[in-house]
Every structure is written in C-alpha cells, then in structure tokens.
Structure 1
Amino acid sequence: MSIGNVSAVLVHGAWADGSSWSKVIEGLKAHGINAVAAPLPLSSLHDDVAALDRTLERIEGPVVLAGHAYAGAVIGSTHADNIKALVYVAALAPAVGETVGDVFYRGEAHPLAPKLSPDRHGLIWLPEEAFAAAFAQHASAQELTVLGAVQRPISASCIGEAVGRPLWKDRPSWFLITEQDRMISPDTQHFMAQRMNARVHSHQVDHTPIVTAADAVISVIVEAVQAVSVH
C-alpha cells in the first residue's frame, strides 16, 4: 500500500465548517495525500456520525480519519471498515457510556473560556469575542473574521448523547495536544490521549491549530498515513 492510496478525511468541530481545514488540505496535497472535508450538520451526535458515514462511503481505499475538537466524538463513533487510523486534534474522546459534555467539562475551565448556553432553538453559538479570546487566540485578524463569519452552531443534544465502544479501542490513534488551549483543558487532552494509548504530539499552540499551526497538524496526519501505508 503506497501513501498515495490512503486518503485523509477531515472532520470539523463545533462553530466551524470544512473551510477550517483549508491549510491542512493544501499541505496534505503537497505530500501527495488527497483529503476530503466531511460536512456535519451538528444537529445530534447520531446525525453527525451518519453524515460522516455518508462521506466515508464515497471514499475508495483506506482512510486516515482526523477530527478537531467535538469531532473527536464523531470519528470515534463511526465503524466504517476502511478506516485504518484516527488522528485527534485537540479533540474530545469519550469512552463507553460517556458524553461529549462529560469530557469537555472534566477539567477546570480557562479564565478566558466562553460561557456557553443554548438559544431558544437549542443551538449553542460561540460569542463573537470568543474566537479571538479562546477559540483561536493565535489567529490573524483576517482568519478571525472568516472563523466568525462561517461559524455553525452546535445543538445541545450533540454533547449529551452517550457513546458506544469507541473506534480508538480498535484502531491506532494519534493525538495532537494543544498546550495553550483555552477551550479544552490540556490536562484533559493528556488524560484522554493516555487512556487511548495514542501516539502523542504536544505543541505550544491554541485550540484551533488546523488554522493557526497547520504544519503541526499536517505532520501528524502524514505520520499516520505513512504508518498505515507500510502494512
């Protein structure tokens, strides 16, 4: 199996869309790796897994599946046969019976973390000022403008649904820990990565390195692709 046969499927988290992976997609292409950004409705964990499965059905050959933040729960809840490895980028990895909320709120919140609550439609929006304060504090003004403009709300039901047996128990996994994360506690990330027995890469980056430190993300995904390509 050559590296060119392995595709990367990239899954966005809450308050984002597939465009958040733009730099990573371009960087992977330079390494000869085709990438597809899977769109999620963010309406429920069940809906999001179903949407991811529809994307995976369209991919021929082996896949390295990468998820950012909330999407860690989504990539851990699919069981598509063509997935060969998982890459968690500051991502939440609930274990059997846990919810996204259980792991998200496990650690002490950063002082600059936003206070989150659903609106009358049951949707949680990220306050505009939180993009610069906590979501991507290392982003440029232009990047922050785009992140705020394309944000998609997440349904409160996404974070309250318990997961089954996660795929990381059955596939090799990588974890990029974001040590300057103000959204998901770095301590929580270390806890999850250790519990998963993941191959850890730790960087002094913010919560959204897919935008602000793309090279670090690209290198981890390339490493995972190369690892599964030798088998």
Structure 2
Amino acid sequence: MSTGNVSVVLVHGAWADGSSWSKVVERLKARGISAVAAPLPLTSLHDDVAALNRTLERIEGPVVLAGHAYAGAVIGSTRADNVKALVYVAALAPAEGETVGDVFYRGDAHPLAPKLSPDQHGLIWLPEEAFVAAFAQNATVQELTVLGAVQRPISVSCIGEPVGRPLWTDRPSWFLSAEQDRMISPDTQHFMAQRMKARVHSHQVDHTPIVTAPDIVTDVIVEAVQAVSAR
C-alpha cells in the first residue's frame, strides 16, 4: 500500500483525551502510516482550534485530519494549508454561522442520552452512567473504566461559538456515520454528511467507534490517506 508521505492527525472530542485514539494509532502504524493525537484544552472552540494549529505546524507534508464527535467542529475550523482531507467520525459539522449546539441539539435526543448541564465553573461533565448508556455502550468494562477515568470536561464556550467558513467546503471529506449513536442522532449525522458532500461510510457502531470499532475507523482513514497520496 502506497501512502506517500501523508501523515494523520487525530483529534479527540468532549469527555475524552488523545488516548481515546490509541487503538487507531496502533493500527495506522501497522499499515505504515504516522499518526499524532492532538491535545485539546476544551476551553473554547477558539482555543481548541489554536491548539490543533500548533500540532499541525509540527507536521511536515500533507495531512489527513480526523475528528471524533465535538472535534468535527474543530477540524472544520482550521485553515492550515497542509490539511488535504478531513475524516469525520460520528462527528459534528456545523456550517458557517452555526454553533456546535445548533447541530448537536438539531434532532430528538435518544431516550438514553444524558441530560447535560454546566457546573459552577461553566464546565460540562459526562455523568459516569452515561458512558455505558450512551457514550460507548459497546465498550468492554475495562474500556469503560478508562474512558470514565480520563474524561475531560468541555466548556460551554465550546458549543456556543459560531464557526466561520468550514474547511470541508474546500477539502474532500469522509464521514463515518454511527447508526447506533445515542449521543449524536444518526439522522443528524446523515444530514451533515449530505450537505458536506462527504464520502459516507455507514456502520452499526456506537458513538465512540475509535474505541469500540477501531478497525472500521482505521479503514476509513486509510481510504482518505490513499486518496491524498494518489494525487
């Protein structure tokens, strides 16, 4: 498999950190693809995009940028020249002028979706029971233990900031639609992917396939890498 000098940058979503991508990193490495997980502070969309840009500045050559969940808004907001393709994994893709909240709350919530509210610091934590009920219902007990232990809260500032012209209007994009998602409605995912004109891969996976179905996620990312390297 020829992947040229294309690198992959992986971006975590809310209530997670870079370790959520560990299985995908291992699988990409096995296929000869270099991957870096970008750390986000989750303090505001502006701060998160700035943090992603700092990671992208360190990468030489073309990049395929992949984001999970909330990180879809982050990867769509960078303007880095070295980003040649975008991969959305059960991710949010607000259009120009929209906020993360606009698309997250667009459809009816799943009956098992958690009720979210900020604490006194303006931070939103995911209730422990929500990890098994909605965030990663297909995960093992061990995986759920780690997800809960490393969760990072997301600031309300992240979800209320309108985005500018998203990068997916100018770059090819792929979208892994999670049909068992209890956090982001599959109907909302289909809506976003369609208006993005993304290349859609629909699978019976939960909201966090980067943990529970890493082979599927890796295959989609590799497809994007091959498309970039073939140019």
Global fold match (TM > 0.5):
yes
- Structure 2: segments with no counterpart, 5+ residues: none
Report the TM-score, using the length of structure 1 for normalisation.
0.99
Amino acid at match of 2:230: V
Amino acid at match of 2:103: V
Amino acid at match of 2:64: V
Give 4+ residue runs of structure 1 displaced > 6 Å after superposition: none
- The equivalent residue for 1:162 is 162
- The equivalent residue for 1:94 is 94
- The equivalent residue for 1:174 is 174
Deviations 1:26-74 (Å, cap 9, x if unpaired)?
Answer: 0000111000000000000000000000000000000000000000000
Give, in angstroms, the shift of residue 169 of structure 1: 0.1
CA distance in 1, matches of 2:228, 2:40: 26
- The equivalent residue for 2:222 is 222
CA distance in 2, matches of 1:230, 1:178: 28
- The equivalent residue for 2:35 is 35
- Structure 1: segments with no counterpart, 5+ residues: none
CA distance in 1, matches of 2:30, 2:146: 24
**1:188-199 equivalences in 2 (<5 Å):** 188-199=188-199
**1:76-91 equivalences in 2 (<5 Å):** 76-91=76-91
Q: Quick check: 1:66–1:87 contact (8 Å CA) kept in 2?
A: yes
CA distance in 2, matches of 1:43, 1:17: 13
Q: Percent of counterpart pairs with the same letter? A: 87
Q: Quick check: 1:4–1:33 contact (8 Å CA) kept in 2?
A: no
- The equivalent residue for 1:113 is 113
CA distance in 2, matches of 1:107, 1:157: 21
Aligned to 1:86, the other structure's residue is in SS state strand
Report the TM-score, using the length of structure 2 for normalisation.
0.99
Deviations 1:193-216 (Å, cap 9, x if unpaired)?
Answer: 000000000000000000000000
CA distance in 2, matches of 1:176, 1:217: 7
CA distance in 2, matches of 1:6, 1:164: 26
CA distance in 2, matches of 1:227, 1:157: 35
How many residues of Structure 1 are paired with residues of Structure 2 in the alignment?
230
Give, in angstroms, the shift of residue 4 of structure 1: 4.0
Aligned to 1:5, the other structure's residue is in SS state coil
Amino acid at match of 1:94: P
- The equivalent residue for 1:55 is 55
Give, in angstroms, the shift of residue 192 of structure 1: 0.1
Give, in angstroms, the shift of residue 16 of structure 1: 0.1
**1:144-155 equivalences in 2 (<5 Å):** 144-155=144-155
